[in-house]
């Protein structure tokens, strides 16, 4: 089983819909992160959480929200999806400044 | 603002050629440095990391990287690439005063021709 699991792996939806991407981990890490990957732009941080009660905005948080339901679960929501949110989304986990471990990604297409 | 720059966006090499991918960052304090690789259709995997000590670090699959503090650089090298090295490579920096967030470069796509 994967240490960092993202669901769904692929999603196609329409503009204006609410979307939730989920991430769960079995690594016991305190820190969890959401990134989006766009061609030529690398990975950009959307939100991050250092523990259940700590949520922080990343560099591109507008249009997104998150929930840290438990140490092992961190979900990302798009309240009203728009086409320029079409991207590959990655969840990652880490302890302190140690290397981050990434999930397999969610490919999201918004029509 | 802190940033990471990868100079080569797309590199094409023949098998057995040597590889060097550039990475520069803009931050004057203490940093942790990483190279990640993303094979087609897969998630990012850690190639190597630098935290402290010997500035020449060795990673998996024959990759190495050299931290040159005076140049704010962390270039990735491999003496002889293989077709299986075809992937996208990301440099990332973790500024220790920046609450542990990773800043990624734009990525370099490496295509190795058999």
Nearest-by-Cβ selection for B90 from A33, A42, A101: A42
pLDDT of residue A29: 92
Confidence grade of residue B94 (pLDDT, cut at 50, 70, 90): confident
Burial class of B51 by CB neighbour count within 10 A (0 to 12, 13 to 18, 19+) = middle
Confidence grade of residue B43 (pLDDT, cut at 50, 70, 90): confident
Cα distance from A6 to chain B (closest Cα, Å)? 11
Residues of A in contact with B107 (CB under 8 A): 40, 42
Contact A10, A78 (CB under 8 A): no
From A42, which residue of chain B is nearest by alpha-carbon distance?
Answer: B106
Cα distance from B4 to chain A (closest Cα, Å)? 10
Contact B49, B63 (CB under 8 A): no
User: Mean pLDDT score of chain B, rounded to an integer?
Assistant: 92
Low-confidence ranges of chain A (pLDDT < 70): 1-2
Contact A16, A30 (CB under 8 A): no
pLDDT of residue B99: 66
| Interface-testing mutation among A100, A106, A107, with chain B (most B C-beta atoms within 10 A) | A100
pLDDT of residue A96: 77
pLDDT of residue B29: 82
Q: What is the DSSP string of A28-93?
A: --SEEEEEEEETTTEEEEEEEEEETTEEEE-TT-TTEEEEEEETTEEEEEESS--GGG-EEEEEEE
CA B94 vs CA A86, B28, B33, B91, B98: distances in Å: 27, 12, 6, 10, 7
Count CA within 13 A, CB hemisphere, residue B12: 2
pLDDT of residue A1: 53
Neighbours of A107 (CB within 10 A): 16
> What DSSP character marks residue B60?
G
Contact B17, B81 (CB under 8 A): yes
Q: Dump pLDDT digits (tens) for B69-81.
A: 999 999 999 999 9
Question: Alpha-carbon torsion B98, B99, B100, B101, what sign?
Answer: negative
Flag the least confident range among A60-64, B8-12, B52-56, B98-102: B98-102
Q: Does B105 touch chain A (CB under 8 A)?
A: yes
From A37, which residue of chain B is nearest by alpha-carbon distance?
Answer: B106
Residues of A in contact with B95 (CB under 8 A): none
- Which two three-digit tokens encode residue A98? 């140690």
Q: What are the helix and strand counts (H, E) for chain B?
A: 0, 12
């Amino acid at each position: 089983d994967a240490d960092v699991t993202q669901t769904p792996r692929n999603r196609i939806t329409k503009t204006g819909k609410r979307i939730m991407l989920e991430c769960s981990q079995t690594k016991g890490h305190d820190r969890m992160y959401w990134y989006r990957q766009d061609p030529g732009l690398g990975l950009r941080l959307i939100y991050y959480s250092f523990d259940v009660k700590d949520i922080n905005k990343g560099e591109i948080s507008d249009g997104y929200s998150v929930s840290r339901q438990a140490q092992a679960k961190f979900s990302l929501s798009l309240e009203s999806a728009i086409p320029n949110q079409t991207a590959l989304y990655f969840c990652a986990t880490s302890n302190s400044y140690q290397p981050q471990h990434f999930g397999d990604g969610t490919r999201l297409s918004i029509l | 603002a802190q940033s990471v720059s990868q100079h080569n966006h797309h590199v094409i090499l023949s098998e057995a050629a040597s590889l060097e991918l550039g990475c520069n960052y803009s931050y004057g304090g203490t940093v942790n440095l990483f190279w990640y690789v993303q094979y087609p259709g897969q998630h990012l995997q850690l190639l190597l990391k630098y935290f402290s000590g010997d500035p020449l670090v060795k990673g998996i699959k024959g990759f190495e990287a050299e931290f040159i503090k005076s140049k704010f650089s962390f270039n990735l090298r491999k003496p002889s690439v293989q077709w299986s090295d075809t992937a996208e490579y990301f440099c990332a920096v973790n500024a220790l005063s920046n609450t542990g967030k990773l800043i990624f470069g734009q990525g370099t796509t490496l295509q190795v021709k058999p």
